[in-house]
Structures are given as C-alpha cells and as structure tokens.
Structure 1
Amino acid sequence: MSTSRVITWEVSESKGLETAWIEFDGDALRARGRAVGTTPEPYWISYALDTTDGFVTRRLLVEAATAHGTRMLDLRHDGEGRWTTNGERVPQVDGALDCDLGLCPLTNTMPVLRHGLHRAPGEREFLMAWVAVPELTVEPSRQTYAHLGPGLVRFASADFRSDLVVDADGCVVDYPGLAARLTAA
C-alpha cells in the first residue's frame, strides 16, 4: 500500500526550513525535498531520494546553490555495498546501506524503519554515507540508533547524542538541536 506525506521542519542548526514530499510504498520510500539555510552560509538545496526494499538507499541526487555557485551530487549505492559520487567510486563508505544528508531530518527515517526502532526495543550501529551541506562532500559516519520507548529513538555519532521523537511512519517530529516539525499532512 502506498501513502504520501508532506512534512516541513524548522531546521535550527541551519537557521532555515526544509519541506519533504515523501511516498511510502511497502518497505521502500521516495522523497523529494527543498531546504534553505543561512548557516554555515546562505544556501538552498533540492534533493531526490530513492530507496530499495528494506529502506536501503539506492540514489540521492542533490543540487546545492550558494553565493559561490551551484554544485551537484549524484550519490548511488549499487545494492552490493559499493557507492559512487558523480560516477566515481567512494570506497571509504563501502558497506553503508544509507545516506545521511547533513542538516536533513528525513534521512534519519531509513535506519529507524528498517529495524523498527520507533516501535520495539533494539540498538543498531550503522556506517552512513554522510553528505556535508552545502559542500556536498561524502564522508563515512558511524551512527547508533537505539529505541528508548514508543516514538523515541536515541541518535548518537561520535560524542553527539540526541533523543529523536518520531511518528508512526518513523519520520522525525523533533530532533533537539537540529530540527522540529512545523507541519505534516
């Protein structure tokens, strides 16, 4: 069964806003979004995210614009653990299943849903293909997600920790220090 959502977040970390149009189809999702921020410098991004079954990232296409010009990123996962950016291999993120678009609360959804961490006990560590915004560079990021209670998931990476409030679809409602939902439809 396919369902659609539109969510807008106030992104305090970037002093901006993000809106995502999300389609859930079984255990896959497609999304497109736009964000504008003023920190670390004024920027806007536009992105399209596509996952395979199991909410594993297939492709993240991002365009970022700043006063210095426009950048494009085409991040692809081959389904066997290998990644490319704009056609070039990125071996440092091999083995990752997910992308994590910086300053974007939507990309926390995939690992939460894949393991049902918004509903049931568990803790998982992930290697993520983390995308810096607005630079659009890709780096490895070790992250841990742990179920704290229904709709409450702890996110940790290095020495950073935040307890995320998520809805029944695994989408962020409140990410203290990063973003808070303004609307949902």
Structure 2
Amino acid sequence: MFAALPATAAWTHRGTRAGFEVTYFEPIDRGHRIEGCTTASEDGRTWSVAYDIAVDSGWQTRTARVTCRSTTGRRTVLLEADGAGHWLVNNEPAPHLDGCLDVDLESSAMTNTFPVHRAALPIGARTPAPAAYVRAGDLAVERLEQEYSRTSDRGLFRCFDYSAPVFDFSCRLVYDAAGLVVEYPGIAVRAV
C-alpha cells in the first residue's frame, strides 16, 4: 500500500508547541529501526525528546527507548512489546497497555505512521488503534484510545480521519506515498 520509506524526514511543530522533529529510518532484519529527536518549547517550557524505536515487519512496535531532557533533568523509559499486545515498561509488566500494538509519542508526528502501515486500510474502512502513549515532559506511559479511518486519496496523498476521545481531538491527517504524515492540523507539517 505504501512506497519505501525515505532515509530521513522532518516536521515543523506548530500550534500546541513550537519545535522541530528529525527522524531517520533504517530497514533491519524483519522490520525497521526509527531514530529521531524532537526539540520544542511549550507553555514556556523547553524539552528535547530522543527516541529509538524498532517495529517488526507488520509495523507493530517491539521496542522503544525514549529519553527526555528538560530543566527538571533527564529521564529515560524503555518499552518492550511481545507483538501480541503485552508490554513491559522499564522491565515491569504493564497490563494497562494490553492490546496496544503501537507506541505513540506525545512529542512526535512520526509515530502516527505505525497504525496506518500496520492496518493497511482500504478507503472507507476504520480501525481502533489503542497505543502505549508516552508523555513528553515526564515520560509517563498511558493507554491512549484512538481511531483511524481512511477517507480518500488525493493524488499520491492518503487521507485518514483521526480521533483521540480522551483529548476531545479529531482531525484529518494527510500522508505521503511512503505513509508519513504531511499535514497534522494544529500539531505539525512535514518540512523534509
């Protein structure tokens, strides 16, 4: 459904925060490794979040190491998934994440790539996509209920309606041919 990933991509964050995100994609045995960093200012605070994520060939998150640096110090969290919806957070079982197949970083526009690749939805189809949601500031890991619905194609672009009821948030996400977000209203736009 999607073309090959580029070696790198970048987003300008705007709306809820001002910042920039750069990501590098590397094919690995049975999946992809994604390394990136977002630096931003939000509500008068600055932070930097670096991530190293491995997804399997079905685009399910297998590991995610996330490190945040802010004025309150440096934190790191390690998430590990078995591919069947069970997670460890810093080597401890996390049953509140049971059924989640994706990691979603509050700091990242890129992590919205995972559910659309994994689900490979035809136009008109929708899917729930609960995720292990990692907060930017304190790296707290929560369950995030969200849904993607494929609405249309615009030339090489694919459109999905996205909703996260806990945030009372919904929008139309536009993806490029490689399945990377191009337009994330109120959050980010693709820069490279």
**Normalised TM-score (structure 1):** 0.91
Percent identity, please: 30
User: 1:4 Cα deviation (Å)?
Assistant: 3.8
Partner of 2:26: 23
Distance in 2 between the 1:113 and 1:35 partners? Answer: 22
2:112 equivalent to 1:108: yes
- In structure 2, runs of 5+ residues without a counterpart are none
Partner of 2:170: 161
Please give the root-mean-square deviation of Cα atoms over the aligned residues, in Å.
Answer: 1.9
Partner of 1:5: 7
2:121 equivalent to 1:145: no
- In structure 1, runs of 5+ residues without a counterpart are none
* Change in 2 beyond 3 A, CA 1:148/1:19: same
User: 1:122 Cα deviation (Å)?
Assistant: 1.1
Secondary structure of the residue aligned to 2:117 is: helix
**Normalised TM-score (structure 2):** 0.88
Amino acid at match of 1:175: Y
Tell me if the contact between 1:2 and 1:23 (Cα under 8 Å) persists in the aligned partners: no
What is the correspondence of 1:36-55 to structure 2 with a 5 Å cutoff? 36-40=39-43, 41-55=45-59
* Change in 2 beyond 3 A, CA 1:10/1:3: closer
Tell me if the contact between 1:165 and 1:174 (Cα under 8 Å) persists in the aligned partners: yes
Distance in 2 between the 1:80 and 1:6 partners? Answer: 29
Count of paired positions:
182
2:67 equivalent to 1:60: no
User: 1:2 Cα deviation (Å)?
Assistant: 6.9
User: 1:27 Cα deviation (Å)?
Assistant: 7.6
Amino acid at match of 1:49: I
